[in-house]
Chains A and B, each alone.
Chain A
């Protein structure tokens, strides 16, 4: 378990990073918490590793009207410890605190996690439920994509040659809206086997729901009302339709009925959190 030979570059600007990433066999590295083990296992054997850690701009976070913006290299621990603003009361902070182990959170980054696009990753699922948008820099300039359009498959994204993910925009959670996030892991720190995330505003009658860790990008219900009997009102979670969730999972290719049950169950629990019927468990 030692990496195959590769060159390492540590550019100081986004433009330099993009131009290095134009080369064949180049791979960007953020916190290195996934790429490091993959290099050691020779599951990844790039000719060139472009370490983005020298680009100060990617570590910033700032507010814009209606959203918070997180540089791609904001770490999970930055969020967990409150060094960057949250999008609502203990929303991202709770998710961050449940990612892997503290040692991973110290180095692992929000942008790296989205770029790696592991279907079981917390940011992939939580930010899908929160309607996040990613900003991409590349040789053709900058562009923005909804996270759902960015995540094109398990471990695959819409990033093109020479492009890097530079920032993530996460809309503020409106007063009256509640966020539920539940994952099923066999042990603390393990990648989840099922993730459920729900952002609901019963007063407005809206609900967005996500089922994740299904070997594909998250299953996003922009309007989750059909999962709750057709309408989002107070106490909507009590009307969760497990059969509808299971049918959606089957359609998404989850063949094992036991897994379908567990995915539906974590979504039900996330909905209970989001409808204040179940006390939030830290990092559930």
Chain B
């Protein structure tokens, strides 16, 4: 890889810090999102959604004059419910009717759809549909839902547990450890919040006998499979087109009930139909994620050496299993990833994926890792406090060491490379830990208290067949494919089945191609987001695209390069082993020829080609898998300084440092963007975002005035340092880094707040850490002191 400082001017290959070419259109407001698509005869859909969290449907009254424009489950002949089954033993299956049949199981569940020329008129119609509902007891608390005798979300299950799991790796051996620290921790239910909501514009093309589905999706090919199964169509009868997508984060890695409804509706009505999610639907009915609860015990020696970790983790999975990742994606991962980057000998983890009357939990950037990192890293600080040791000392005692790489940890996660202790010590140096601690001792002029917090995590990315086949969910990633084709004028077209929802793939995949073929990024176009034009892919999730699609593009371009070289050698009257590709030209001993001239010859002057030329020409589709598909392990250490106002509980982030190892970076500027964006979301988890429910299961935030997202003033500019330990298993040594920014901040920030407040007797163990929660603890601690005095 070419290092940043050594890069020559004009270098655009792997490692170049290039501005994103797609920003030319996106920043000028010229992107095309779902809501920008206009089709002749298009009508809008508004849904009648359940006002109750749990109820039996006695009747749905559609006014006579709306018949034929309002549809309920009774109309949906031949439509199957959404089933996302996991093959893990004991998994209980939920069937999600796309329009509710006998029961509603969450607020916002779809009951009827109304079609009108405008959304406002469709909403007028929806308001006139009357529901006769028999309210049932609602489950809003996952711990209560686990108890015997609780109301049942799915009656035939007999309980509310999608899946229970247990791993025990000799935990009993840790019980005689001299130090034992236990904590109860939890992360709030959140609503991931891309700027663009979901949406779909769907019509049926009779010429092609094809349902054409424009939908904001991270995984067009997976939606195609799920949609064809629900609608009873051949896959060839479904085309998914995902245009510009205004943020995904996992929210658009799902088959939507709305898509199934509209797929049926457009065939029934014979004209295009559209649904655009509004913010209220997004918040109250669709976007839940993250809610975890942990009972964790750390066993340790007095020097901080971990003897074992024992944990019970519960995840609120909501009412249904979302397609394709299922209802147990989070909890099932918790057990395997809780150990994080630490090496210790004994471990037990029991997990529950619990059904409640909330909307299904969805994978959100970092998936289970944000909760796991919060639980373990905050508990480690509690252990450090118990031992009277600085938090970094306890971590350094237990972090996997570079000489152990590659390292199989206690749950058989295979760490490919890295130097975790170095990341932590560099983060401490970057934040100026010694200076911060001196300042902390001195006290602040304004009376606030300073705290320093750390966290470190690892991010398994681009894990493939061997990992996912064991889960038995509807989707298992295999080889990733990419197409590469020269145009007659020497440009390059790349085709991938993964989709960009803001990651900058149009630039970074072009950089990969440039690294191999020397074709400028400006001459390379990425074709993606359309099942009709791209190879199959499970899509963009799991920080996998740069590893998988990048590897596939490299493989395809390498093969294409060989074909270019063969024609070039003929044109230069040289033998194949005498010519090489360089700077977009084939260079031989006596001269060189540009790729564009080679393309011109292949397409437009075939009479100049040699008799035995490779008939496959200048178009390649190639597949790729890393040498090992157990995943790349990127990681980072975060260090943060906060100031806490002990009168109002306000928290200000004063400084933030991140030392990240993403292996070889294809475009460091894009990586920094990923880290900063993730950090903003991590700050949201840490301090702001919470979807609360009342005892009737009603979501308590329906606008962004109630559901707080961090804004620009709340997000600091972090100091970012990169370590560049290449993965031994992937093309170029790249590692997936898309999620890490959102994983570590809640733990680091909570640890910083606890560092500030521990002397006052407060310890924050629940995210978000709000001013009210801080003051409740501080006031209780003061009251305790007074009564003790």
Partners in one complex: yes
Residue numbers of A with Cβ under 8 A of B are 1-5, 37, 41-42, 184, 186-191, 193, 257-259, 261-262, 265-266, 269
Q: A1 to B279: give the CA distance in the assembly, Å.
A: 8
The answer to whether B120 and A265 have CB atoms under 8 Å apart is no
List of A residues within 8 angstroms of B127 by Cβ: 4, 42
Query: Out of B119, B120, B280, B775, which one reaches A261, CB within 8 Å?
Result: B775
- Residue contact A2 to B779, C-beta cutoff 8 Å: no
5 further interface pairs, Cβ-Cβ under 8 Å (given A187-B713, A258-B772, A258-B779): A5-B120, A184-B771, A257-B779, A258-B776, A262-B775
A5-B124, A266-B648 given; A187·B779 CB < 8 A = no
Flag whether B708 is at the interface (Cβ < 8 A): yes
A-B pairs under 8 A by CB, number: 61
Known contacts A186-B771, A190-B708; is A4 also within 8 Å of B124 by CB? yes
- Is the CB–CB distance between A262 and B771 below 8 Å? yes
Nearest-CB residue, chain A, relative to B780: A258
B713 in contact with A1 (CB, 8 Å) = no
Closest to A182 in B: B648
Chain B nearest Cβ from A193, distance in angstroms: 8
In the assembled complex, the Cα of A269 lies from the Cα of B650 at a distance in Å of: 14
In whole angstroms, how far apart are the Cα atoms of A186 and B123 in the complex? Answer: 34
Is B647 part of the binding interface, using a Cβ–Cβ cutoff of 8 Å? yes
From A1, A42, A265, B648 is in contact (CB under 8 Å) with A265
Is A2 in contact with B688, judged by CB distance below 8 angstroms? no
B141 contact set on A, CB distance < 8 A:
none
A187 touching B708 in the complex, CB below 8 Å, given contacts A41-B280, A262-B775, A266-B648: yes
Bound CA–CA A257/B617 (angstroms): 77
Whole-angstrom distance between the alpha carbons of A2 and B118 in the complex?
10
From A2, A3, A187, contact of B710 by CB (8 A) = A187
State A37–B120 Cα separation when bound (angstroms): 14
Please measure, in the bound complex, the distance between the C-alpha atom of A187 and the C-alpha atom of B768, giving whole angstroms. Answer: 13
CB-nearest residue of chain A to B279: A1
- Which B residues contact A (CB, under 8 angstroms)? 118-120, 123-124, 127, 278-280, 647-650, 687-688, 702-703, 705, 708, 710-711, 713-714, 770-772, 775-776, 779
Report the nearest B residue to A1, measured CB to CB. B278
Given A2-B123, A3-B120, also A184-B648 (CB < 8 A):
yes
Question: What is the CB-to-nearest-CB distance from B118 to chain A, in angstroms, rounded to a whole number?
Answer: 8
In the complex, the answer to whether A186 meets B713 with C-beta atoms within 8 Å is no
Q: Please name all residues of chain B whose beta carbon is closer than 8 Å to the beta carbon of A191 when the two chains form the complex.
A: 705
CB neighbours (8 Å) of B118 from chain A are 2
B contact residues around A259 at 8 Å (CB): 772
**What would 19 A/B residue contacts be, using CB atoms closer than 8 Å?**
A2-B118, A2-B119, A2-B123, A4-B120, A4-B127, A41-B702, A42-B127, A184-B648, A186-B708, A186-B771, A187-B708, A187-B711, A187-B713, A190-B705, A257-B779, A258-B772, A261-B775, A261-B779, A262-B772
Pairs A-B, 8 closest by C-beta atoms: A2-B120, A1-B278, A188-B713, A265-B647, A258-B776, A2-B119, A258-B775, A184-B648
- Chain B residue contacts of A257, Cβ below 8 A: 779
Q: How far is the CA of A262 from the CA of B280 in the complex (A)?
A: 30
- Report how far A193 CA is from B772 CA in the complex, Å: 10
Contacts of A3 on B, CB cut-off 8 Å? 120
Partner of B703 from the list A5, A41, A265 (CB cut-off 8 Å) is A41
Residue of A nearest to B714 (CB): A187
- Complex Cα distance, B705 from A193, in Å, reads 12
What are the residues of chain B within 8 A of A190 when measuring CB–CB?
705, 708
Given the complex of chains A and B, what is the CA–CA distance between A206 and B714 in angstroms? 38
Question: Across the interface, which residues of A come within 8 angstroms of B702, CB to CB?
Answer: 41
- B648 near A262 (CB under 8 angstroms)? yes
Chain A residues lying within 8 Å of B123, measured Cβ to Cβ, are: 2, 4, 42
Report B1 CB to chain A, min CB distance, Å: 40
| CA–CA, A186 and B775, complex, Å | 13
The distance in angstroms between the C-alpha atoms of A136 and B279, with both chains bound, is 37
Max count, chain B CB within 10 A of own CB: residue among A1, A189, A265, A266? A1
Give Cα A129 to B650, complex, Å.
Answer: 25
CB distance from B449 to the nearest CB of A (A): 15
Q: Which residues of A contact B705 (CB under 8 A)?
A: 190-191
Q: Which residues of A contact B648 (CB under 8 A)?
A: 184, 262, 265-266
Assembled-state Cα–Cα distance A266/B775 (Å): 13
Residue of A whose beta carbon sits closest to that of B772: A258
Question: In the complex the two chains form, what is the Cα distance from A5 to B116 in whole Å?
Answer: 14
Asked whether, in the complex, the Cβ of A37 is within 8 Å of the Cβ of B708, the reply is: no
Q: Are B703's CB and A37's CB within 8 A?
A: yes
The reply to whether A187 and B688 form a contact with Cβ atoms under 8 Å apart is yes
- Give the chain B neighbours of A42 by CB distance below 8 A: 123, 127
Query: Nearest residue in A to B768 (C-beta to C-beta)?
Result: A186
A184 touching B650, Cβ below 8 Å: yes
The interface residues of chain B lying within 8 Å CB-to-CB of A41 are 280, 702-703
Shortest C-beta distance, A218 to chain B (Å), equals 19
